[in-house]
Structure 1
């Protein structure tokens, strides 16, 4: 097994990648031009720091202020930040410098879109759920999340004195923020309103679970939990009373959706282009599945793990086998943090009658899910090897990272199928195509929902009907969660497939440029050096081709 600890060398690898894929400049940059570029880069870094402080600013008491006067002030100040960004002289900048500038532009556009169109503080009750029991597998929370989120998963119980005081302070923000929500929530998006009730009920359940865990702590924390429970329950009651008054659409509409893709996600696609890709991938995955099933018709079905011990042994063995495959087949460099990152996420046994879509795969052929768990490699890499550029060091705001994060995780599923990971387990190949079909079905449904062609219920029904072999039940909480998230966050439901499309396209383009020099390992190792930025920007850096960047308005 090729699994020796390797110390990351991001800068050296990035320089080697650029040298192997991008044309060399005709003349070295002269000293004055280099000095000018350095000063401009310093200006960008300072603006980035100021921007992040501004974006997170604005409180009334202990909670963030999303009332209309505050949002009007936010919009006015945003324009000044955008003007400062536009005024930076980018003469002589390198491609990575230009990409950093566009990352800041995309974040500012994200706030602009929220202020003009999405307005989650006004339209979406789920925005007021601030208690998070589990970590996301992506660089930051999926979808719109209010400032001041309480990351309960970061606390270790029993709590020490410092953690107890911190959690007490944070829980005390729930009641005033929900009170503000009653003032702010004036929108008429019925589907978002109804789904938000379920989200808030989830917060109520999390608080109910928390109460006995802090029973041995001080009175202040126990009172903070009780106050948060009461405020959440009252808020749910208010939402239910207001629901009959809501009858408006929840999608942002095609025109707004197109603007968001181009200016926030920096995607080369529009709504119609995404529909075309979703339809193609949905049909392709269904056809591939039936061919796999026909080829495997004489083979027994995959037995699912039937006990906690069996599941644990199977899951851990699959992690080790997958990592060995990645190293032995020279797919990518296996880092010392990869095995712990996956082992922490293997989950536990779930009885068959309680298994959701992904549980079914994990219990029958866990490596099919471990390929998608590239997410945890990404997060471990961000922690162990922070990007040298400040703008890329942490998660980009407004889910700007989605095409790279979800796209590469999804691309690895089919890529590893073609690379031979499941050659000794042919029935597992069927699961890969089922997952691909499910991702295409839910993405296509989300497109119709944002165009206000489907209601959320119709989007869920479409996803169920087009997911093969009955793996998506209409009663699963996962189904409602997915379509709610995709309605809350334009471009997210499609990003798994459209991001995969961009990853596949880039790999093909690099291979075509120099087939003899191309290697899969160099591609994946190189991909990991650019940070969690949109795939259009990764393409610009890796290929040295700005045509796609220019087509979406990148400068």
Structure 2
């Protein structure tokens, strides 16, 4: 009997429920998903082996769900689910960060605590219980991380992790102490009781990393390699270009952005820099007003629908319990599919002269954050409400990050920053950064760059501060394909728009185009092209690589 659309939807629902339990924790905000109560990531060998067995069962069911004679929408859903299955193999058996990467394992140990802190107060009973559970589990998680790294750890990443964990015991204690006034008395007591052992274990973990890396007990960097990276492009990201093509296109955009930045700066050379916000309260108020202005600009220019029901994106001061551990991920709460009506919040630092790269931009013009993270906020809220449940979940960053980066240049071109010359130069610098990320991503994956060389590349050519460059590069070493996603996705959106303008002629609408792309923002652009334009040329090119499960790297 031919499987039905309902069979595919059922499989998708079961798979994503499984991923909520089994996927690793991510420091990035886009892949964050809502977890069951008392969730902890499993990165022990037995847990990974169980994941592999269960993945095989999902793959078998997916292969039996033949959608080739179904409508295009169902075929796209089927391919999207296949991409998500391929990603699990990529994470478990190609990247193997759960064995090799001390930065990644730090994220698994401490990240669940950080994630539970992100949503604004109040802390309900479930979240309070989760905090106690996570804190109490840290010593055992440290033991497992050390055991994994003793077998397969990479020295370079151990050094990066150790640097980020400087003073981690007192920093965790500070977070727990600051949380006490936000939780009930029983929870506060339980957290205070569990904190010393958790802090001691984290200090022990850092000390072990320093000693193991310094004594030469950990291995060299592990290179994914070109062949495996191409497999990722074809079967996870669903991108048709070769790595070399991506680098050439990125370098072209890099040079274009340098010209745009230089000429714009020269044009407005007599205009003084925009002042920093007076203090954090002023910055939060400025952003709230700016967010309303950006929404009005979208609507007034006919760029993107802004229904009253669409939630807002706001800045907020760092809560005292979050600030000591801000290195653990993107410090925002973009909510989730069961909270999509809630306003999203991004925690920002006090505006001072020596802020890191992105914080410095936001402190002078909050719209510079709104046009990227605010775009994520709207895109995710729209996608979480998609009629197809399979399209409500993150599968790869090219579409999501591509849309947000495309939105930056869209808003520059549309005139949002006509009143802010220096913000125009900053957007050109954003373009420069995202283009250079492709070069770093591909060169790290293929072994051309070491981690230190990639950091130096960012510092010299963006330019950016060493702190931000190191944080970014450590993430990209662990997740090949993420750094490239901004620029590659932007170019895919631009290519789709250009072809849609030609195909639709006078009937083309920027608003309708963007509404479609944002709503389908979890879907690779190669599949969006097929549905929007009836153009399956990208899909046919991807098919020449053969089924993903027959060519596993």
| TM bucket, shorter chain | 0.7 to 0.9
Instruction: Tell me whether 292-301 or 152-161 shows the greater mean CA deviation.
Output: 152-161
Once residues 364 and 150 of structure 1 are traced to their aligned partners in structure 2, the CA distance between those partners, rounded to angstroms, is 27
State the 4+ residue runs in structure 1 displaced beyond 6 angstroms: none
Alpha-carbon separation, structure 1, partners of 2:424 and 2:273: 12
Give 1:371 deviation, angstroms. 1.2
CA shift at 1:304, angstroms? 3.1
CA contact under 8 A between 2:236 and 2:396: conserved in structure 1?
Answer: no
2-structure distance, mates of 1:506, 1:158: 43
**1:367-410 C-alpha deviation (Å, 9 max, x unpaired):** 23321120111233345xx22222123x33xxx23112110111
Distance 2:8 2:139 in 1: 38
User: Following the alignment from structure 2 to structure 1, what is the Cα–Cα distance between the partners of residues 446 and 258?
Assistant: 25
Question: What is the match of residue 350 of structure 1?
Answer: 350
Q: Does 1:406 align with 2:401?
A: yes
CA contact (8 A) 1:171 1:224 kept: yes
Match of residue 209, structure 1, among 157, 160, 174: 174
Displacement after TM superposition at 1:161 (Å)? 5.1
Please name the residue that 1:51 is paired with: 15
- 1:495 lines up with 2:495 in the alignment: no
Shift of 1:55: 4.6
1:99-134 superposed Cα distances (whole Å, 9 cap, x missing partner)? 11112111111111223211111111223335799x
Q: Provide structure 1 residue ranges, at least 5 long, that are not aligned to the other structure.
A: 1-35, 134-144
What's 1:4 paired with?
A: none
The alpha carbon displacement at 1:91 in A equals 4.1
Residue 44 of structure 1, CA deviation: 1.6
Aligned equivalent of 1:439, options 427, 434, 439: 434
Provide the residue aligned with 1:380 in structure 2.
381
Q: What SS does the corresponding residue of 1:552 show, helix, strand or coil?
A: helix
The answer on whether the counterparts of 2:154 and 2:219 sit within 8 Å (CA) in structure 1 is: yes
Pairwise CA distance, 1:450: 1.9
C-alpha distance in 2, partners of 1:340/1:57?
29
Distance 1:376 1:205 in 2: 33
Specify the alignment match of 1:28 in structure 2.
Answer: none
CA distance in 2: counterparts of 1:530 and 1:301, whole angstroms: 38
Taking the TM superposition and a 5 Å limit, the aligned residue runs for 1:50-69 are 50-55=14-19, 65-69=42-46
Deviation at 1:308, TM superposition (A): 4.0
- Asked whether the equivalents of residues 399 and 522 of structure 2 are also in contact (C-alpha less than 8 Å), the reply is yes
Count how many residue pairs are aligned between Structure 1 and Structure 2: 494
Tell me the CA shift for residue 74 of structure 1.
Answer: 3.6
Match of 1:365 in 2: 365
Structure with larger RCO (C-alpha < 8 A, sep 6+) = 1
Can you list the C-alpha shifts for 1:496-531, whole angstroms capped at 9, x where unaligned? 111100111111010011220111111111213325
CA displacement at 1:361 relative to structure 2: 1.7
- Asked if 1:448 is matched to 2:443, the reply is yes
Contact 2:440 2:449 in 1 (8 A): yes
Q: Which residue of 2 aligns with 1:429?
A: 424
- Conservation of the 8 A alpha-carbon contact between 2:258 and 2:428: yes
Deviation per residue, 1:54-73 (Å, 9 max, x gap): 556679x9865433354345
Deviation at 1:336, TM superposition (A): 2.2
Change (3 A) 1:68 1:401: closer
Structure having the higher Rg? 1
Match of 2:297 in 1: 325
Q: Does 1:193 align with 2:158?
A: yes
8 Å CA contact 1:316, 1:346 repeated in 2 = no
Relative to structure 1, is the Cα distance of residues 306 and 151 closer, same or farther in structure 2, using a 3 angstrom cutoff? closer
* In the alignment, structure 1 residue 166 sits paired with structure 2 residue 130: yes
Q: Which residue of 1 aligns with 2:147?
A: 183
Q: Specify which of 82, 87, 91 is matched with residue 105 of structure 1.
A: 82
Residue 335 of structure 1: SS of its match in structure 2? coil
Give the Cα separation in 2 of the matches to 1:530 and 1:337: 18
Name the CA shift for 1:209/1:301 in 2 (closer, same or farther; >3 Å).
Answer: same
> How does 1:104-183 map onto structure 2 within 5 Å?
104-130=81-107, 151-154=115-118, 159=123, 162-183=126-147
Q: Paired residue for 2:325?
A: none
Describe how 1:409-420 pairs up with structure 2 within 5 A.
409-420=404-415
Query: In 2, distance between residues paired with 1:349 and 1:184?
Result: 35
In structure 2, what is the Cα distance between the partners aligned to 1:213 and 1:369? 28
Q: 1:238–1:85: structure 2 CA closer, same or farther, 3 Å change rule?
A: same
Alpha-carbon distance in structure 2 between the residues aligned to 1:292 and 1:64: 47
TM-score normalised by length of structure 1: 0.81
1:228 equivalent to 2:218? Answer no
Could you tell me whether the CA contact under 8 Å between 1:172 and 1:228 is conserved in 2?
Answer: yes
Contact 2:98 2:148 in 1 (8 A): yes
1:439-491 CA-partner distances (Å, limit 9, x unpaired): 22233223222222211111011111111xx5x122x3x22111111111111
Which residue does 1:8 correspond to in 2? none
1:459-478 aligned within 5 A: 459-467=454-462, 470=463, 472-474=464-466, 476=467, 478=468
How far residue 538 of structure 1 moved from its aligned partner, in angstroms, is 1.7
How far the C-alpha of 1:174 sits from its partner, in A, is: 1.8
Mapped to 1, the partners of 2:66 and 2:299 lie a distance apart of 44
Aligned to 2:70: 93
Deviates most, 359-368 or 408-417: 359-368
Give the Cα–Cα distance (whole angstroms) in 2 for the partners of residues 293 and 57 of structure 1: 49
Q: Matched residue of 2:161: which SS?
A: helix
Deviations 1:334-371 (A, max 9, x none): 12255632455465563433311112222323323321
Partner of 2:522: 532
Separation (CA, whole Å) in 1 of partners of 2:13 and 2:469: 38
Unmatched runs of 5 consecutive residues or more in structure 2: 24-37, 316-343, 548-553
- Change in Cα spacing, 1:198 to 1:534, as seen in structure 2 (3 Å) is farther
**How many angstroms apart in 2 are the aligned matches of 1:78 and 1:161?**
33
Distance 1:347 1:150, change over 3 A: closer
Contact kept? 1:131, 1:151, Cα under 8 Å:
no
Q: TM-score, normalised by structure 2?
A: 0.81
Q: CA RMSD in A?
A: 2.9
Offset of residue 495 of structure 1: 0.7
State the secondary structure of the residue aligned to 2:353. helix
Counterparts of 1:485 and 1:58, CA distance in 2: 20
